[in-house]
Structure 1
């Protein structure tokens, strides 16, 4: 057995960091100190846990086994501590949350600040990223996600409704006639957002029982939603954006909704959690807080 629980936390940290240099940054020590501690752990266990070089770090078969066991043991320990604290009415520890960049800045950051005010003993770590791999997902207690779900192993809890809307600015519409049917978008200047590994130039519409799919010409593309919206506001072209992001611009008249009788696939806001079983008290509290915050209507529909 390792000397203490800190050995397990150490090994999980360096594994999830992907390199000794990144692990050293997260642990606030030197890379040589990380390497030395890893060597001591391997000597104690009597086996090599990882292959490492200056740029590469990968686990051996024994390292994979040890990492999986360490993650499970730390999760069980965390759940046990949470259960004891919950019985005493105390919620503490660290809550690791991930969310999309734009939505995170506009809505999630403020929600976390208010949640922390209610639970000051709780530490909250927020990571904003529009791309989260399956391996990275394991680092978080809860991931706020918008749009289609790619990882079916995670459980999705509803947070707020969110539609996708086709929009353009009055400046653009002054020089181009607004489309009356989705197929007409093929002749328009379109701005596309690269996200969630979707086919971003294929826009799918539905009107009652009628479906339409159109391949749009992407005159501009970006992986940043705010950039796409700004381009549209400047009159560069037509965009498809989440309701939460364009509601204010639509209300002020800076953007105009196109094809209002046609619907695109919804992109509801959900919370992704690894499993239904064994949710800690802090995760349950934060999930309930988020769900209540966006009811009965989210801010973009008020």
Structure 2
């Protein structure tokens, strides 16, 4: 039956027809003449038709053999083209890069980096999905995710891109109303804007200049379910919060926010590219390199 045909024998059959004899085909394929003959005989048995008429001095294709040869040439050509296309995809960014990131980091950092990347690769399309929930890359068909902080255990591959600092900030209007804390011990007396997606949004550990550590528990007056919302609350004087440096750098420089307790350090957090599969395609590798270089230049 056709379903039992060994497809490797199609290539041997095409090589035999092209070579014109069993002896020449065996030399071209690196096989013995007997082995080539066995493969053709088995192929004919699997198909249930005679492909070649043989004599001591020549071979001739039957009508079925002629039609089958044409089909085999087409099939092998399409297979070769498919293999070449896969190779090109591994070497050159192409197709659609589908990636996900958090709303704040995606807007502030990933989207501008993608715009530059697209200019360098005009044939590449981009599908950027921003969400604060951790997407299932395989189920949702993402090529890549940019994730922050500690990574969860998974079967996905990851590459560290950079890191960001966590900054304790408040608006000048809030500080004029409530005063500025000078030590971590004063924080429980202040109004705190909590980020609900954190596992411990009100518990923070500060490293002092002398190397000691102080953990405090803040008093919540408001909470937000994403960083952008917490940022807006702090900007408008609702209270103090810890926000990522990439989000507040411009606000601090332009005086809209003030960094508090600058001599005390909060833990740095990693920025990672996460992707499925051992061998990511060229579009993923290229964007990881592009984003890493961009982050290093901005550091």
TM-score by shorter chain over 0.5: yes
Q: Hey, what does 2:105 align to over in structure 1?
A: 103
Instruction: Using the TM superposition, give the Cα deviation of residue 295 of structure 1 relative to its aligned residue in structure 2, in angstroms.
Output: 2.0
Distance verdict in 2 for CA 1:82–1:138, change over 3 Å = farther
TM-score by length of 1: 0.65
Counterpart residue number, 1:273: 275
C-alpha contact (below 8 Å) 2:137/2:276 kept by paired residues: no
Q: Give the gaps of 5 or more residues in structure 2.
A: 1-81
TM-score by length of 2: 0.66
Structure 2 residue aligned with 1:286: 287
1:237 aligns with one of 230, 239, 245: 239
Alignment counterpart, residue 120 of structure 1, candidates 119, 122, 125: 122
Partner of 1:180: 182
Equivalent in the alignment of 2:88: 85
Does the 8 Å CA contact 2:93/2:286 hold for their aligned counterparts? no
Distance of aligned partners of 1:135 and 1:295 in 2 relative to their CA distance in 1, 3 Å threshold: closer
Which deviations, in whole Å up to 9, do the C-alpha atoms of 1:128-167 show, x marking residues without a partner?
1111144667622211112222235433322233100001
Determine the C-alpha separation between the residues in 2 that align with 1:264 and 1:185. 14
Q: Give the superposition deviation at 1:296.
A: 2.7
Task: Tell me what 1:129 maps to.
Answer: 131
Gaps of 5+ in 1: 1-78
The CA deviation at 1:291 is 0.9
- How many residue pairs get aligned? The number is 217
Q: What RMSD in Å do the two structures reach over aligned CA positions?
A: 2.3
Once residues 84 and 120 of structure 2 are traced to their aligned partners in structure 1, the CA distance between those partners, rounded to angstroms, is: 20
Q: How does 1:140-155 map to 2 (within 5 A)?
A: 140-155=142-157
Out of 220, 223, 237, the position equivalent to 1:221 is 223
Mean Cα deviation higher: 289-298 or 186-195: 289-298
**Contact map agreement 2:106 2:130 (CA 8 A) in 1:** yes
1:83/1:280 contact within 8 Å kept: no
